[in-house]
Amino acid sequence: MFAIVEFTEEENVAVVPSSWILNSREVLWPPGPKDPVKLAATNSVPGPKWAKYPARVLKSYGTNFFSLIN
């Protein structure tokens, strides 16, 4: 499952696997220069160094979101 989330402090949006969503108000995000889009598309498991950011879920999908746009 995937979701579109809005990072509330930065007013940015992203598509993330539901495993990156901690609760209805926080999302995990990979550190450093890693390609977050590639990590999201491959449904990467969050690591211990991933940061928590305030966010809200705008829309959830019960399927692989990236398969819908290819």
Q: Is residue 69 part of a domain?
A: no
Q: What is the DSSP string of 13-52?
A: EEEEEGGGEEETTEEEE--TT--HHHHHHTTPPPPTTPEE
Model pLDDT for residues 10-52, shown as the tens digit of each residue: 889 998 999 999 987 999 999 987 788 888 888 889 999 999 9
pTM: 0.81
Q: Is residue 14 part of a domain?
A: yes
Domain count, the chain: 1
Residue 15, domain extent: 2-64
